[in-house]
Structure 1
Amino acid sequence: MSSASSAPRLPRAHPDVRVARVARFFEDLVPADLDRLGEIYSADAAFKDPFNEVRGLEAIRRIFVHMYAELDGPRFVVTQAVAEGDMAFLTWTFHFRSPRLQPQDVVVRGATQLAFDPHSGLVVLHRDYWDTGEELYARLPLLGAVMRWLRRRGSATQA
């Protein structure tokens, strides 16, 4: 793949139009797009991540409103996508800044499981998987030191 920013990424050009639509939506997401969540999610969609478990468009919208209120410059980059039937799995990186964690950019790597309604093509299940310990808690000053100590103690490669 070319390193040029205009080169299409596979997820945005995925042969399953539902997957491509979701990848484009999240990569291009800005606060004004939150009023368009109904183009992606069904009215009673379920959403779960390490911090939230909600159902319905308004509850999902509140998660993203909170994200924009708490973080500087949040953006998603969908790196891979696979789909079979009405299920899909995306991998992504989430980029943001937060003075509470670190003044520089933070990158979180994760994956999302999606289930689509077979009739409407809308998302009925969105489940995010990412390691809060490694990707987030380890960046906090005091808790980070404890997390690094625990990781060293539990490592099979410890000398």
Structure 2
Amino acid sequence: MFSPNHSYRAFFIFLACALSLASQSIPLLKASPATTASQGKNPVSAFQEAMVATASVQVPPHGSIAEQDAISRFERFLAHLDEKMAREETKKVYAPDSFLNDTLKTLHGSSAIRDYFIKTAQGLDSMSVTFDDVATSGRNYYFRWTMETRMKKLAKGKTIRTIGVTLVRFDREGRVILHQDFWDSAQGVWDHVPLIGPTIRWIQSQL
């Protein structure tokens, strides 16, 4: 007799195969040596540790030219990120010991972040980010944005439009030391992956 347990087992086998296929077809999801430092760590725990680690780092004074320069540099960098920008500018924008989580990857260090941005850019036809608002609370900066992407291997090259918020902390030199995205990666990526997208939409329809 076919039991519900068999159904769940078959579903998870199917999902594992779909994820494996996605990781091979989408450059930004492939594992690389640069990401191994964060592998196996819970993203929430990693974020909380990064918040504690950066809690006492000196920041540019509020209202200063240095603060405005840091905000502008970060926005310019992500507004039209491409491979050239990633190669040449990442280490100017991100501190050597910086932390980044974009809901797809958790990374430590500007070298790992640069390699990830390069790989991401290589998988895109285009990307643009419009910053709609910036709010501050203590040493935290919240960037609200709208992103439009066209991926080479997803959504048949159509533009994917998503919204999100990025929490940023800067160091004294105005470089990013913490970057945490709050973004629906299902809408931005997974919904458009063959096999996975329909599965996610089916699960959502059951809620």
Give the TM-score, by structure 1 length. 0.76
Q: Could you tell me which residue of structure 1 aligns to residue 191 of structure 2? A: 138
CA contact (8 A) 1:42 1:124 kept: yes
1:90 & 1:98 partners in 2: Cα distance? 23
Moved more, 81-90 or 139-148: 139-148
Query: What is the SS of the residue equivalent to 1:100?
Result: coil
1:107 & 1:149 partners in 2: Cα distance? 21
* Offset, 1:45: 0.7
**Aligned to 2:75, which of 23, 26, 29?**
23
For 1:49-128, what aligned pairs fall within 5 Å after superposition? Answer: 49-103=102-156, 104-117=158-171, 119-128=172-181
* Offset, 1:25: 2.4
Q: Which runs of 4+ in 1 moved over 6 A?
A: none
1:44 & 1:67 partners in 2: Cα distance? 21
Task: Look up the equivalent residue of 1:52 and give its one-letter code.
Answer: K
1:88 & 1:98 partners in 2: Cα distance? 29
Higher helix share: 2
Q: Structure 2 vs 1, CA of residues 121 and 39 (structure 1 numbering), >3 Å: closer, same or farther?
A: same
Q: Structure 2 vs 1, CA of residues 142 and 30 (structure 1 numbering), >3 Å: closer, same or farther?
A: closer
The higher-RCO structure (CA 8 Å, 6+ apart) is 2
1:96 & 1:124 partners in 2: Cα distance? 25
Computing the radius of gyration over CA atoms, which structure comes out larger, 1 or 2?
Answer: 2
- Which runs of 5 or more structure 1 residues have no equivalent in the other structure? 1-14, 155-159
Moved more, 92-101 or 60-69: 92-101
Per-residue displacement from partner, 1:28-60 (whole Å, max 9, x unpaired)? 433322212233211111111222111111111
Query: What is the SS of the residue equivalent to 1:133?
Result: helix
- Which runs of 5 or more structure 2 residues have no equivalent in the other structure? 1-62
2:105 & 2:178 partners in 1: Cα distance? 13
Task: Look up the equivalent residue of 2:197 and give its one-letter code.
Answer: G
RMSD of aligned residue pairs (Cα, Å) = 1.9
CA contact (8 A) 1:67 1:74 kept: no
Task: Look up the equivalent residue of 2:167 and give its one-letter code.
Answer: Q
CA contact (8 A) 1:101 1:140 kept: yes
